[in-house]
């Protein structure tokens, strides 16, 4: 008999997600006074480009990426970026920034006329690329994460879920054409129904 994975738990006092591997990033700061997250932004990342696994994403977000380890790394090792959460190919989650704090994931961006999306968003990276399919385990984890985030933060809603390319058009392309938005939205609806039924 298949056993459903445990629901994600979010401690709103600390902004930490469980279960998630914690890898604190220095690339974070306070959100503007009184601002709580009301947008979820989906990204993709792979290091080196097109390759999965390894320590490189952790190292990028902790300013420890070794420039000599790969030619591409020399072009990005000076970046100071982060995200709140990463969903790896196997569906496991890594957290770099507490949810109540501002991660540096969106850059120059605008959502429905509001600029500086880092101020009011939660960034979720998927280990993947613009030109390949994401893993089923990633959709399963992401849908459960979204439901947990919306339950923990009243201003969040699955209606306010967007891609990096949508808030920074012409500058960013992720999560890319292979990201299946209808699949994710259907899974979020199903996960919400399950969570309400269990309540």
List residues with catalytic annotation: 125
User: Are 86 and 78 contacting, i.e. CB atoms less than 8 angstroms apart?
Assistant: no
Whole-angstrom CA distances from 110 to 81, 126, 169, 172 are 18, 21, 9, 12
C-alpha 141/C-alpha 198 separation (Å) is 18
Q: Which token pair is 45?
A: 């990342």
Bridging pattern class, strands 110-111 and 114-115: antiparallel
Strands (E), 117-192: 121-127, 161-163
């Amino acid at each position: 008999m298949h056993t459903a994975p445990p629901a994600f738990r979010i401690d709103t006092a600390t902004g930490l997600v469980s279960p998630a591997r914690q890898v604190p990033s220095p690339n974070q700061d306070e959100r503007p006074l009184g601002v709580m997250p009301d947008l979820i932004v989906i990204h993709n990342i792979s290091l080196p480009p097109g390759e999965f696994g390894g320590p490189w994403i952790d190292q990028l977000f902790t300013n420890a990426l070794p420039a000599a380890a790969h030619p591409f790394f020399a072009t990005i090792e000076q970046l100071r970026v982060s995200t709140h959460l990463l969903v790896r190919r196997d569906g496991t989650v890594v957290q770099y920034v507490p949810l109540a704090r501002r991660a540096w994931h969106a850059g120059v961006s605008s959502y429905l006329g509001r600029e500086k999306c880092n101020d009011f968003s939660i960034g979720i990276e998927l280990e993947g690329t613009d030109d390949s399919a994401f893993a089923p385990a990633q959709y399963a984890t992401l849908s459960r994460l979204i439901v947990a985030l919306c339950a923990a933060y009243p201003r969040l809603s699955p209606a306010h879920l967007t891609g990096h390319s949508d808030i920074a058009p012409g500058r960013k392309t992720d999560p890319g054409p292979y990201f299946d938005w209808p699949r994710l939205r259907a899974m979020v609806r199903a996960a919400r129904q399950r969570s309400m039924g269990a309540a």
